[in-house]
Structure 1
Amino acid sequence: MDRARQFAAACIGSLSGAPRHARRLRHLLAGSALATAGGPTGALAANEASSRLLGSSEVVTFSVLLGVVSAALFSAIWMIRQRSRLEDENRALRSSVSDTKHRNARLQALISDKNRRIIVWDGFSQKPELLGQLPPETGAPTADGEFLALGRWLKPGSAAEAERAIEALRSHAQSFDLVVETNRNEIIEVQGRVSGGQAFVRFVALNNLRREAAELQLERDRLEQSLTVFQNLLDSLDLPVWQRSKDGTLVWANAAYGEAVEARDAAEAVREGRELLPAIAREKIRASSTTDTPFRERVSTVVRGTRSFFDVVDAVCPAGSAGIALDVSESEAVREELKRTLQSHAETLDHLATPVAIFDGVQRLQFYNQAFQRLWDLDTAFLESHPDHGEMLDRLRAAAKLPEQLNWRQWKENALSVYRAIDTQTDLWHLPNGQTLRVIATARPQGGATWVFENLTEKVDLETRYNTLVQVQDETIDHLSEGVAVFGPDGRLRLSNPAFRAIWGITEQQAQPGTHIRDIELACAPSYDGADGWKRFGQLITSFDDERPSDRGVLELSTGLVLDFAVTPLSNAQTMLTFVNITDSVRVERALTEKNEALRKADALKNDFVQHVSYELRSPLTNIIGFADLLKTPSIGTLSERQAEYVDHIATSSAVLLTIVNDILDLATVDAGIMQLDLSEISLTDLLDEVAAEFADRLQESQVALEIVASDALGTIVADHQRLKQILIKLLANAANFAPDGTKIELKCWREGADLAFTVSDSGPGIPQDVLRTVFSRFESHGSRGGAGLGLSIVESFVSLHHGTVTIDSREGEGTRVTCRIPPGRLPAIVAAE
C-alpha cells in the first residue's frame, strides 16, 4: 500500500507542470483522494464541485487521463507482486545452491581420501573420471593417464587379472573384489561395482589387519598355484609318486602310480589303498626314514606280473611322508649281464698264456691272470691287496725285474702316462733276465687301463736265427708251415716260402725275388682286397722312418682262411711278413662263443619261465586255500563229516602245493642272482621257540617228537630271519619225513666262535652212499614220503647265501645227521649307524 501511494504521488507530481487541463485533473485527483478519504459525503461534495468546474470537453480529457492513470496503477501493482514472488524464488534457489555446495564439499572431502582412488565410467563413455589419490609409497602414479596404464605400476599377473575384471565389469556389469600387488610389493584392494548406469572401480590401499589378511590371501593363492603346478608336473612324470598321512594311509598318487598298481586312475588307487611296495619294504621305510635322513634303497616288487626293481626315495615331513620310485629293472638286468660278461671275460683271460693285468681309474690292480703272476713271480697276497701301479713298479725294480733306467722317475712317469692318454701305447722292455716284452697299454672306457705283456724273447731269437740262416741258405724257410715273405727297403721281394704262396694262391712266377710289393698286392687281390691289408704292408715296408714299425693282426680271406699276420722289421732295413693259418682255432672259438651265448639265453629263458609260472600258480592257490578256510567257518553253513574231510584234504594239498611253488620261486630267484638277504640281529633262543611252535602240528601229523638241545646263552646273530627259519623248518621236515613213527628227531645248536652251528638228526633208514651224492640236487626225492625234492636244495642255496656250509652224514639203517654252519653277516651301513 505504501508503494501504491508513493506511485500515486509521483503521478500527481508529474502533472504539476502541465497545462490547465492537467491542473484541473490534479485538482480532480486530489478531490477524488479527499473523497475517498472522507467517505460518501466527501465524494458527493467532490462530484458536485467537479461538475461545477468541468465542462464536457474537460470531462472527456479527464476520463482519458483517468484511464491511463488506472492502467499505470494496475501495472505498478502487478509488477510489485511479480518482483516480490521472484525475490522469494531467488532466496529459495540461493538456499538450495548453498546446501548443494555444502553437500558437494563434504562428498569431495570424502572422495579425496589419500588411501583410495576411484575411476568412474559414465555409460559406455571411453573417457573415465578419476577421483582421489593413493599413497606415494604404493608406487601408483598421480597422473590420470599413467594411472590407467595398470601394467606399468602393478605386477604383470595382478595387472592382467585387474584388466580382465574391469573389462567384464564394463561389458557385462560383473562386480568383482580383487587383491593386487604393486611393483613395490604393496597390497591394494580393487573393487568394481555398477550403479545408475555408471561403472565404478575403487583402488584402496590396505593397512594393519586388512593388509595382513590380503597378504595371506595372496600367499595362499601363490601356494595353491604352486601346488597345482607341482601336482601337474608329478602327474606328467612316468615315475610312481605318492603321499601318505601320518598314520601311513595313502592320500595322493600320480597317474604313473595308478598305472603301476593296475588301477583305472590314481584316484581309484588312493581310494582302494593299492600299494606298490611290499609290506616288508613299507615297514622298513616307516622304521628307518626320518626328517634328516630320507629312506634311499633299492626295492624289489611285482608290477603287472613281472618282478621289477625300483630305487625308492621316501622323505618324512610333519604332515606325513612322500616318496618316488625310479624303475631300474632294465639297468639292473644290464648290470647283471655286464657282471657275467666281465666274469666270463676274466675267466677267458685267465686261461691265456699272455700276461694280462687290468688297473682301475685310480691305478689300482683289479685283475690279473696266472700268466701275469708267473711272469713277475709276485705273491698272491700282494696282488690280492689291489696294489697301486706305481707301487708295483717300485717293487719290481727293487727285485731287479725291470730294465735299468738312468732316469727312473721319468721312465716311470712315461709308463704311467697311459692313464691320461686316449690312444694305445706300446713299448719294448728288455728285462735283466734276458726276456724281451712288448708292453701294450690300452685305456679303458670306464677308466683305468689294460696292460698286456707279450713275450717276444722267443720271437726275437727266431728272427735272429732266421736272418743268419737266410744269409746261408734261403730254402730253410721252405719247410715252415707259416707263410713268410721278406722285403727289402725298396719294397721288392727278397724271398718267400711255399706256404706263403699257397696261402695267398699265387704262383712261384708271381712271387719271384725282385717283384715289387705292389705287384704282389695285385696278385693277392683275388684272395683279399681289403684296404687295410697289403696297402698297409706296403706303407710299413716302404716307410722312410728311421725305426721301422712292427705290426700284427688278423686277416680273413675271401677263401675262408683266417690268418694271423706279423710285420717284423729285420736287420739291413728289411721287413719280414709272416702269416699263420689260424682258421681252425678261430672256427672253434666262434663255435664255443655261439654255444656259450645259446646256453646263456637258454638259462635266462628257464629262469624267466620258472618265475612266471610260479607266480601264476601262486595266485589261484592262494584263492583255493582262502575258500577252503572259508568253507570251514560256521557262518557259511554246517558241513557233513565227509565234506569236512574233503575240505581238509583240499586245504592240506593246496598248502603243500603252495609250499612247492614258493620253493620253486625261491630257487629261481637264487639262480637269477637277484635274491638279497634282509639282514638283522636275531635272538637265537626266540628263533628256536618260533620254529618249535610252527612245527608242532607237523610233528603231530608225523607222530614223531622233537628234542631241541641248545644253551640259553646262544645270544644273537646277524642273518636273514626268514631264510634262517626256512633252513631249520626244511631240515626238520625232511627228518620228519624219514623218521619212523614213535621216534624223535633232534635239533642241536651251539656256537663256534662267532659262527652258529646246528645239526638235525633222525633215526630213519639213512641214505645210500650212491644217492648221497645227489641229495642236494633238485627234484631228487628218496623214499615214499620224500616230497618234491626241493627242501635240501633250498637249504643249500640259503646257507650259501649266508656264506655258510652244509654237510650230510648218513649210513643205511643208522639215520641221518645234517650239519650247518652259519657265519654272522654285517648289518647295512644305515642300520648300523642308527
Structure 2
Amino acid sequence: MSGVIGVMRRTLLSCTSLVPGGIAGAGAVSLIDTSPAWAAEPALNERLIQAFMNLSRQDLTALAMALGVLSFSVVAAILLMRTRIRAAANEQRLRSELRELQSEADRFRALLFVEPQILISWGAGEERPQISGDIALLLPQDAKQPLRILAFGTWLPPEPALQMDHAVDALRSAGEGFLLNLVTSAGRTVEAMGRAIGGQAIVRIRDLGGLRRDLAEMTLRHDSLLAETEMLRAFATAAPWPLWARGKDGKLSFANQAYARATEAADSADAIQRNLELLDSEDRTAMSRALNDHATFAARLPIIIGGERRMYDVHALRTGGGSAGIALDASEATALSGALARMADAHRRTLDQLSSGVAVFDGQRRLAFYNDSYRRLWDLDRPFLDGHPDDSSVLDRLRAGRKLPEQPDFRAWKARLHEAYRANEAVKDVWYLPDGRALSIVTTPNPEGGVTYLFDDVTESLDLARRYDRLINVQRETLDSLTEAVAVFGSNGRAQLFNPAFARMWKLSPEALAQQPHIDTVEAWCKPLFDDDDAWRTIHKAVTGIDNRTAVPLKLERKDGSILDCMTMPLPDGATMLTFHDITDSENVERALRERNDALEAADQMKVDFVHHVSYELRSPLTTIIGFAHLMNDPGTGPLTEKQAEYVNYITSSTDALLALTNNILDLATIDAGAMTLELGPVDVRKTIAAAAEGIQDRLTRDRIVLNVDVDPDIGDFIGDERRIIQVLYNLLANAAGFSPPDAVITVSARRTEHSVRFAVMDEGPGIPPDVRDKAFDWFESYANGSRHRGAGLGLSLVRSFVELHGGRVHFDPAIKSGTRVVCDFPLDRGAHRNAAE
C-alpha cells in the first residue's frame, strides 16, 4: 500500500502542471510536501489520500488524459485503491455507529431491567420463545431452565395458572393483550402484561413492590370483597328468613324478599319505602335497648305472619352504620324442644322404674341423672347425688366405703374407666365387690358428650349359671353312665346330644355322631340292624314334626334278635329325645311269666269249675240226707231210741255244717265268676247283728262265751244286701267264737261315720300274727295258732268278698296287741253300691 501511495505521490507531482486549474490549486499544492520525510509521515499520506479522494470524476478524467502515456494499470490501481479506501472508511463509520448503538442498547437494557422482571417474546411463526430477565424471580431453584416458566402451574396456584395459560394462548393466537395481577405459590405479588408489538407476542412479568404492590393487593382485595359482597347480598335477598338492615336514623335500608312477605309488602322496595316493621313495639323497644347497651340482641319472639302466630329466633347486631337483623323460624324447633322435653321426662320416669341402676354423667363428667335403683345399689345419700358430683368424687366415695372392686392401682383403674368419655363404642365389664356381689356394668358414651353407666346385680344370675353348668355336667355324666341309649335331636332334625350307650347299641361311630348328622343319615346307619320302614317313619315324624308333639312308645325287634323299648319324648325347646332300652331279657322273662300265668289261670279256672261242679253235686244228696234226718227226728214218724236220736242229731249237725261249707264254696265260686248280685235294700243294723248272733248262740252257750253288743243309738240303717251282711257278721262271730277260750268275751260294735257304717268284731283269742294277716282272707287259709279251732279257711274269704261287693273294705286293726279285731266299712253312697254290685 505504501508503494502504491508513493507511486501516486510521484505521479501527482510530475503531472501537476498538466492538470488545468485542478490539482495544482492551492488545495493540492498544500498537500504536496517536497520534504524528504514525506514518505515517513502517515499524516501526510492521509492528506494525500484525502486529496486524491476529493478529486472529481472530471479531474480524474483530465488526469488520465494528461497522463496519456502513463499506463492504464496505474489508473486501475488508482481506482482500486479508491474503492478500498472508501470501503475502509465505511467500515470505520459503521463500527463507530455500531459502538454507539451498542452503548445505547446497554443504556436501554439497564433502564429496562432496573427493577426485577422477565420478558418472554415469540416471533412470527416461532414456537420457542426468547426469555430474558431475572428468572430467579419466579423459579429460584430452576434459574438455569428458563423454559420452565411457561409451565405456569410450577409457580402459580391452579386457578391463576389456568387463567394465565388462557391469556397467553389468546395473545399468541389473536393478539389480545392482557394485564393480570397474580399471587404466586410462594406468596409474591407479580404483574403479568401481554402485548402484540411488531409482529411479536411479548409478555412481561414483573415484581410489584411498594405502592404498585399495595395498589395491586388493594385491587385484588377490592375485587374479592366486591364478589363476596355480591354473593352475600344475593344470598340475603334469596334467603328464606327475614333479613333487614337499618341506618343510623333507624330507617329501613335493606330488606329481603322474606321480610317483604312477612310484612305483607309488595316487594323489598315497597317494604323499605314504607318502613314496615316486623316486630311489635315492645319487642322493638327491647331490641333497641339491647343494641344500645350490648351491641347484640337475641331472643325468641312471637311474630304473626299470614295470620298465624309463630315463634322466631330474632338476632340483631349493631354496626357502624346502623344495625342488621335476622329472624329464624323456630316454631318447629319449639315444638320439637317441647316434645324432646316430654320424651326426656318420660324416659327419666321409665328409667326410675328399672331395676337396673342408671347414672348419666354429662360432658363435664358431672352427674346429670340417676334413678332410685342406682342410689339403693350403692347406698348413697340423696343430697350428695342431687349436688351433681363429678364422676371421680362418686368413685372416691364408693372406694372409701369399700364398695368397689379392690384394685392395686386405683388411679390407673379409674383412668381406664374414664376412657369411656372418649370412646365410640359401649364397653361391658363385671365388677366383683368385696361384699360378695357381682355387678354387670355397661359404659355407653352419649352422643352429646358424657357417659351413661348401667349397673345390674348379676350375683344370682352368675350363681344360677354356675349351678346350671354343674347341672349340665351332672346331666352329661348321668347320661354317659346310663345303660339306656339316649339321643336328642334338635328341631332341625340334627343330633345334638347322645350318650356312649346309643353309639354302642346301634354300632355307630362317636366321631360321626359328633358331626350332628340328620335323622335321615342316622336312619340309614341303623337300618342294617332294624329296617322296619313304618317304625322309622314314626320316629322321623316325631323328630321333625311341628304339630301334635306327643310321646310315642315303640317296640323294636332287631335282626340280631334283641328287643328294644323305644320312646320319643318331645322337649320344651322343640327338640326330641329318643331313648332305647334293651328289654330282651325282661321280654323273655315276661313271656315265660305270661305263659306261667296263663297256666295258673287255667288251673284256677279248672279248680273253680271243679269246686262249682262238686258243690252242686254234693248239695243234692246233702239236701236229701238233711231232709230224711229231720223226718226221722220228727215225732210223727215214730219214736226213736235214745241212741238213735243221738245219731240222728249227729247226722243233722254234720250235714248242716257240710251244707254251710258247700254254700260258702258256691258263693265264693259265684263271686269269683262275677255272677254274684246283691239284693240291695234298707238294712237295720241292730236286727242284722241279732240275726247273725242267733246263728252261733249254741256255741256261745256251750263255751260260756259272753257276746257284748255295742251299737250307736243313732246308728239308723243304710242301703245294702241284708242277707249277705248277716252272712258276713255270722262268719266273723263264728271265727271269733272258734278262736276264743272259754269264759271269754266277744264284742261286736257298729258306728256311723261321715261316709260309712263301720262294724267291728273283737275276740280275746291268741290273735293272728302280722306276717300272715294279708293271707288270712285267701281261700282255704286257716290258722289254728294254738287254739282248738280248725276251719276250712273260707269264712274270712267270704267276708272280704261280700264287703268288697258292697264297695267297702275289711282289715285287721293293727292297734290291737292281744286278740283279734276285724273291721268292716260299708259305704253310705248308693252309687258305690251299684258299681260294686255291677
TM class, shorter-length: 0.3 to 0.5
Give the TM-score normalised by the residue count of structure 2: 0.34
Q: Which has the larger radius of gyration?
A: 2
